[in-house]
Chains A and B, each alone.
Chain A
Amino acid sequence: EAGVAQSPRYKIIEKRQSVAFWCNPISGHATLYWYQQILGQGPKLLIQFQNNGVVDDSQLPKDRFSAERLKGVDSTLKIQPAKLEDSAVYLCASSLTDPPSGNTIYFGEGSWLTVV
């Protein structure tokens, strides 16, 4: 079974520039997550999609971050304009959704962003 695919793996940009990350979840997984992981910290949820609808985006800095999941499959996360503090790993994850049970969440390898 193919895992969660993310690209690019590494990106270096200057502050105030824009960047976009792409994620392809595991086939059939309805739920897709974007997490931000700053070095030395645990991941923080930015946005959660259920199919192509947003379930939770309470921690997404909406003035500069945007995300979409067209057709309920692939997703893109965009940052514009980037700030130095956005330097982090952006992890995409997916899971089957079968409430009320808990489900295993599968993570991609992450997209490493450095803002200089």
Chain B
Amino acid sequence: SQQGEEDPQALSIQEGENATMNCSYKTSINNLQWYRQNSGRGLVHLILIRSNEREKHSGRLRVTLDTSKKSSSLLITASRAADTASYFCATASDSWGKLQFGAGTQVVVTP
């Protein structure tokens, strides 16, 4: 079974706009990670946030984590056409790194 559930399933925006997607999970976690997957390619790690952290930034990416609500959000600011991809959240319940992925949010950024 998949732990994380992303919302929305699909998102279409124009270049320059911000894109926000959410992830909800069910059980306690050690950390939560976001990945990007371009069509036909493998997954690329974007950012990891630990359970004792509330917010992290990496370039145009901002991730928040609310463990009381068991939810996380990924914000991509000033989106570009190259940001078109599927974005997955994945949770690790322990320190062994086993990840459970959600079904992903498909983001399309039009020029």
* Most B CB within 10 A of own CB, among A48, A105, A107: A105
Segment at the B interface, from A14-22, A38-46, A62-70, A74-82: A38-46
Contacts of A106 in B (CB 8 A): 45
* Most A CB within 10 A of own CB, among B2, B4, B98, B102: B98
Contacts of B25 in A (CB 8 A): none
Segment at the A interface, from B36-44, B67-75, B77-85: B36-44
> Given A44-B2, A102-B48, is A97 in contact with B42 using a C-beta cutoff of 8 Å?
no
> Given A44-B2, A102-B50, is A91 in contact with B98 using a C-beta cutoff of 8 Å?
no
From 69 to 105 in chain B, residues with beta carbon under 8 angstroms from any chain A beta carbon are 88, 90, 92, 95-104
From 74 to 97 in chain A, residues with beta carbon under 8 angstroms from any chain B beta carbon are 91, 93, 95, 97
Determine whether the beta carbon of A42 is less than 8 Å from that of B2.
yes
Of the residues A56, A104, A108, A110, contact of B48 by C-beta under 8 Å: A104
A100 within 8 A of B: yes
Q: Give min CB distance, B6 to chain A, whole Å.
A: 8
Q: How far does the alpha carbon of A93 sit from the alpha carbon of B33 in the complex, in Å?
A: 15
B14 within 8 A of A: no
Considering only CB atoms, which chain B residue lies closest to A42 in the complex?
B101
Determine whether the beta carbon of B98 is less than 8 Å from that of A102.
no
Contacts of A95 in B (CB 8 A): 97
Of the residues B31, B42, B97, contact of A110 by C-beta under 8 Å: B42
Contacts A43-B43, A100-B30 known; list 19 others, CB within 8 Å: A4-B42, A31-B97, A40-B103, A41-B104, A42-B2, A42-B4, A42-B90, A43-B101, A45-B99, A48-B97, A99-B95, A101-B50, A102-B95, A103-B97, A104-B48, A105-B97, A107-B42, A107-B45, A109-B41
| 5 A–B contacts, CB within 8 A, in A order | A41-B2, A45-B98, A102-B33, A104-B33, A107-B45
The 4 closest A-B pairs by CB, nearest first: A42-B101, A102-B31, A100-B95, A99-B95
